[in-house]
Chains A and B, each alone.
Chain A
Amino acid sequence: MLYREAGDYSTSYPEDSQTFPIKFDRYRYYVILAVAFLVIPFFINDYWANAVLVPFLIYSIAAIGLNILTGYCGQVSLGTGGFMAVGAYACYKLMTSFPEISIMIHILLAGGVTAAVVTLFGLPSLRIKGFYLAVSTLAAQFFLVWMFNKVPWFYNYSMTGMIGSPERTVLGIVVTGPATDAWAKYMVCLIFVTFCAVLARNMTRGSVGRKWMAIRDMDIAAEIIGVNPLMAKLSAFAVSGFFIGIAGALFFSVYLGAIEVTEAFGIEKSFLVLFMVIIGGLGSIFGSFAGAAFMVLLPVLLKNLLVGGLNWPTDLAQHLYFIIAGGLIIIFLILEPHGLAQLWRVAKEKLRLWPFPH
Chain B
Amino acid sequence: MPDQVLFAAEVMLNGLMAGVLYSLVALGFVLIFKASGIFNYAQGVMALFAALTLVGIMDGQVPFSHLINAIFGTNIHHFGWHTPALLAIILTIMVMVLFAWLVQRFIFRHLVNQEPIILFMATIGLAYFLEGVGDLMWGSDIKKLDVGIPKGMNETIESITHGAFGYGFFIDNLDIFATFVAVILVAILVCFSQYTKQGRALRAVADDHQAALSVGISLSYIWILVWSIAGFVALVAGTIWGAKSGVQFSLSLIALKALPVLMLGGFTSIPGAIIGGLIIGVGEKLFEFLVGPWIGGATENWFAYVLALLFLVFRPQGLFGEKIIERV
Contact = CB atoms under 8 A, between A and B. Distances in A.
Contacts of B128: 322-323, 325-326, 329
A29 interface: no
A319 B136 contact: yes
A76 B117 contact: yes
A2 interface: no
Interface in A300-358: 312-313, 315-316, 319-330, 333-334, 337
Contact of B313 (A124, A138, A224, A313): A124
B263 interface: yes
B121 interface: yes
19 contacts: A76-B117, A128-B312, A129-B324, A130-B116, A132-B316, A139-B308, A224-B328, A313-B70, A316-B66, A319-B135, A319-B136, A322-B135, A326-B127, A326-B132, A333-B114, A333-B125, A334-B107, A337-B111, A337-B115
Given A330-B122, A337-B114, A320 B136 contact: yes
Interface string B288-321: 0000000111110110011011001100111000
B328 A218 contact: yes
A281 to B, nearest CB: 12
A146 B298 contact: yes
A23 interface: no
Nearest to A325: B128
B309 A221 contact: no
B70 A333 contact: no
Question: B111, B117, B125, B135: which has the most chain A beta carbons within 10 Å?
Answer: B125
Given A313-B70, A320-B136, A334-B107, A220 B326 contact: yes
B132 A323 contact: yes
Contacts of B263: 132, 135-136
Contacts of A334: 107, 110-111, 122
Nearest to B67: A316
Contacts of B260: 135, 138-139
Name the 6 nearest CB pairs between A and B, nearest first: A322-B132, A326-B129, A326-B128, A329-B125, A139-B305, A323-B132
A151 interface: yes
B178 to A, nearest CB: 24
Contacts of A196: none
B308 A333 contact: no
B17 to A, nearest CB: 22
A131 B39 contact: yes
A267 B136 contact: no
Interface in B248-264: 256, 259-260, 262-263
Interface stretch (A59-67, A168-176, A197-205, A270-278): A270-278
Majority SS at the chain A contact face: helix
B73 to A, nearest CB: 11
Interface in B111-152: 111, 114-118, 120-122, 124-133, 135-136, 140
A315 B140 contact: yes
B328 A323 contact: no
B267 interface: yes
B129 A322 contact: yes
Contacts of A333: 111, 114, 118, 121-122, 125
Interface of B: 39, 66-67, 70, 107, 110-111, 114-118, 120-122, 124-133, 135-136, 140, 256, 259-260, 262-263, 267, 295-299, 301-302, 305-306, 308-309, 312-313, 316-318, 324, 326-328
A334 B103 CA distance: 13
Majority SS at the chain B contact face: helix
Contacts of A20: none
A26 interface: no
Interface in A254-311: 267, 271, 274-275, 278, 282
A65 to B, nearest CB: 17
B160 to A, nearest CB: 38
A143 B140 contact: no
A4 interface: no
Contact of A150 (B135, B296, B317): B296
A142 interface: yes
A159 B318 CA distance: 42
A322 B302 contact: no
Nearest to B266: A132
Question: A76, A149, A333: which has the most chain B beta carbons within 10 Å?
Answer: A333
Contacts of B124: 271, 274-275, 329
B302 A139 contact: yes
A139 B122 contact: no
Contact of B302 (A143, A324, A329): A143
Given A131-B116, A220-B328, A221-B328, A267 B256 contact: yes
A213 B21 CA distance: 41
